[in-house]
Amino acid sequence: MTEELNPLAIVAGQMKEACDELGLDPAVYEILRKPQQFYEVSIPVTMDDGSVQNFSAYRAQHNNALGPYKGGLRFHPEVYADEVKALSTWMTVKCAVVNIPYGGAKGGVKVDPRELSEAELERVSRGFIQKTYNMIGPEIDIPAPDVYTNAQIMAWMADEYGKISGKPGVGVVTGKPLNFGGGRGRNKATAQGTVHCVEEAGKKLGIDMQGATAVIQGYGNAGSFSALLMEDLGAKVIAVSDSRGGILNRDGLDAQAVIDFKAENGSVQGFAGAEDITNEELLALECDVLIPAALENVITSENAADVKAKIVGEAANGPTTPAADETMYENGVFVIPDCLANAGGVTVSYFEWVQNNYGYYWEDDVVAQRLHKKMVDAFEGIYGYHEEFGVKMRDATYLAAIKRIAEAMEVRGWLSK
């Protein structure tokens, strides 16, 4: 992998720049440049045919200066250690951005869940908890859904944790089903946060979302809800894609019909009334809003100059490399960085955990209103840094977050004497 694409090198560079810009004690970067703990475990699973497969799994606990470690757990065949460490660092930044009392963590199981039966998936999920039971907990480290994990997987995990501990322990993971301690609004929360940010950016740039055109790369949880929510604002979703490729209809797609089509056919490609395009073609489309909502390193130095969107809202983690970010900045593309744009997910996870701790559950409108306030406050704060320091929104995001984390480390007595 080239240095441009190594997420750990990318995040270390981003941190270093922000620490230098803020003139912080060198101890801040020294502590933040690597996770506090990193675990690698293996999960032997008896498959339906009686054979045993041993899956590698990772959990990185980056920093807990602001509160318990928090972050998703992905099931993906390509998951690797440096990626998980980088993603855990972004979680620390993200939680500080929206000012919730959490540090950052991330996990991954190296498995392709699309190749497993439901029973095998359950055994992998319970196996992860059996192997990490001592490292996680409602006051220690709280996993949540991420790429290819969902509410059902969280339910198996919370149940397994409960069985081992002999306590309900529902607050051990978030993103659970509603009838098992889940919080309202969690499913669409990541996308909702992104769309709130896109709307705020539109106000700053004088772009009305009513009638705007939107392109979505990735059509899983974050991508498909982003499409629906952009439609709710009156935007026209002209193209979407998944790992197999994309589809385009300049008159607008019906986002829900595409969700239904993908559920039946496994991909968005082949959707009637749209032409098939490649992911590369999709990223280069003329549009108002582009939402990358899949994996890292999608917009790179190879294709950043082709991006014609006015606003890029990063629902994915790490979709843009630093070189690509610079190119888009020079070309006047307004990029809302991941740690701000996708922080709605962890924010509503936080709400869920608070509700679990209280045993008192909020209505939809309460969640919606509190999420909206969190996102608008975070956006405004970062936009303020962006204007004041004359820096990219991404740099402003790091400045705001690291300042907050450094203050917590200072008060705890972690820094140089």
Which residues are designated catalytic? 106
**Considering the complex, what minimum distance in angstroms separates the CB of residue 145 from ligand GLU?**
6
Check binding of 346 to ligand GLU (CB under 6 A). yes
**Considering the complex, what minimum distance in angstroms separates the CB of residue 272 from ligand GLU?**
33
**Considering the complex, what minimum distance in angstroms separates the CB of residue 245 from ligand GLU?**
25
The one segment of 125-133, 271-279, 339-347, 371-379 that binds ligand GLU by CB under 6 A: 339-347
Nearest to 202 by CA among 225, 229, 233, 226: 233
Measured from the CB atom, the residue of 174 and 267 that comes closer to ligand GLU is 174
Number of residues that bind ligand GLU (CB under 6 A): 13
Check binding of 397 to ligand GLU (CB under 6 A). no
SS3 402: helix
Paired tokens of 276: 């098939």
Measured from the CB atom, the residue of 71 and 138 that comes closer to ligand GLU is 71
* C-beta separation of 244 from 261 below 8 A: no
Check binding of 317 to ligand GLU (CB under 6 A). yes
Paired tokens of 293: 């909502």
**Considering the complex, what minimum distance in angstroms separates the CB of residue 54 from ligand GLU?**
25
Report 128-147 residues binding ligand GLU (CB under 6 A). 144, 146
Measured from the CB atom, the residue of 107 and 236 that comes closer to ligand GLU is 107
Q: How far apart are CA 174 and CA 144, in angstroms?
A: 5
**Considering the complex, what minimum distance in angstroms separates the CB of residue 139 from ligand GLU?**
15
Site string for ligand GLU, 34-73 (x = CB under 6 A): ------------------------------------xxx-
Residues 6+ apart with CB under 8 A from 71: 87, 88, 91, 104, 105, 106, 107, 143, 144, 146, 346
Measured from the CB atom, the residue of 175 and 322 that comes closer to ligand GLU is 175
Order of all β-strands in the sheet with 275-277:
275-277, 245-248, 236-242, 213-217, 289-292, 311-313, 334-336
Measured CA distances, 378 to 69, 116, 251, 303 (Å): 20, 39, 34, 29
DSSP category for residue 95: H
Measured from the CB atom, the residue of 116 and 295 that comes closer to ligand GLU is 295
Paired tokens of 282: 């999709």
**Considering the complex, what minimum distance in angstroms separates the CB of residue 250 from ligand GLU?**
32
Measured from the CB atom, the residue of 22 and 81 that comes closer to ligand GLU is 81
Q: How far apart are CA 226 and CA 215, in angstroms?
A: 10
Site string for ligand GLU, 152-191 (x = CB under 6 A): ----------------------xx----------------
**Considering the complex, what minimum distance in angstroms separates the CB of residue 127 from ligand GLU?**
20
Q: 């959490």: which residue's tokens?
A: 102
The one segment of 14-22, 43-51, 293-301, 340-348 that binds ligand GLU by CB under 6 A: 340-348
Q: How far apart are CA 232 and CA 243, in angstroms?
A: 25
Report 90-129 residues binding ligand GLU (CB under 6 A). 94
The one segment of 60-68, 229-237, 256-264, 344-352 that binds ligand GLU by CB under 6 A: 344-352
CA dihedral 354, 357, 363, 364 (to 10 degrees): 40
Q: How far apart are CA 124 and CA 121, in angstroms?
A: 5
Q: How far apart are CA 104 and CA 363, in angstroms?
A: 27
Positions that interact with ligand GLU (CB under 6 A): 70-72, 94, 144, 146, 174-175, 317, 342, 345-346, 349
